[in-house]
Amino acid sequence: MVSRSLATLVLSLATFFGLTLPAHAVTLEQKLSALSEFTQPTAASAANWVAAWQNQGAWADYAFDWSTDLCSSSPDQPLGFDFRMSCRRHDFGYRNYKAVDRFPANKPRIDDAFYFDMRQVCAAYSGLSKATCDGLAWVYYQAVRQFGDLNVSQAQIERVRRDVERAYRNAA
């Protein structure tokens, strides 16, 4: 009874003085569940991730890595098609699954979600613009599938960049 009263008093004083008590630890299972929810190749998963990304503070207990280099050395908005959010979510999946040593088993799904996100961007277009966007999305997807788990050299990045440019010229 005394410990419950003491806990209530401490909580009341902390609230009164605007203090934040230490966060409760999130279990690995909880973190993996949230990661899975945020990295599915579905519209619901993408929407949930965007909402979390816009309110990162609400996820502080999870200690997620929200950092991004967007599309790495590839253009973030190739030919004006905005793949930035797709790249952010992809980076989130890679960084956070690597941090919990679960990357290899989840990489294919993260890459599939990346492709799904880019195809959602392309769905806003029609005709040749849509075909071009879809082609770029496919090339970006193939690049992450093949090179996403490697330490890639600058020469390899340049080769993929040239392949993207060649694919665009052939599509036009």
> From start to end of 45-164, where are the E strands?
none
Beta-carbon contacts of 46 under 8 Å, excluding residues fewer than 6 positions away, are: 89, 113, 116, 117, 120
Q: What pLDDT does residue 8 have? A: 43
CA distance 171 to 87: 23
Q: How confident is the model at residue 43 (pLDDT cuts 50, 70, 90)?
A: very high
Looking at residue 6, its pLDDT comes to: 42
Q: Could you read off the pLDDT of 114-161 as tens digits, one per residue? A: 999 999 999 999 999 999 999 999 998 988 887 766 555 556 667 777
Determine whether 24 is an active site residue: no
Query: 90, 137, 139, 148: which is the annotated catalytic residue?
Result: 90
- Give residue-wise pLDDT tens across range 61-107: 999 999 988 888 787 788 989 999 999 999 999 999 999 999 999 99
Quote the pLDDT of residue 144: 83
Say what the pTM is. Answer: 0.72
What is the per-residue pLDDT for 38? Answer: 96
For the chain, domains (ranges, CATH) are 25-171 (1.20.90.10)
CA–CA dist 168, 103 (Å, integer): 31
Give the mean pLDDT of the chain.
Answer: 82
| Stronger pLDDT, 162 or 46, i.e. the higher one | 46
Determine the residue type at 41.
P
List Cβ<8 Å contacts ≥24 apart for 144-147.
Answer: 144/90, 144/111, 144/114, 145/108, 145/111
Task: Show the tokens assigned to 56.
Answer: 């990162």
* Average pLDDT estimate for 8-30: 58
Say what the pLDDT of residue 56 is. 93
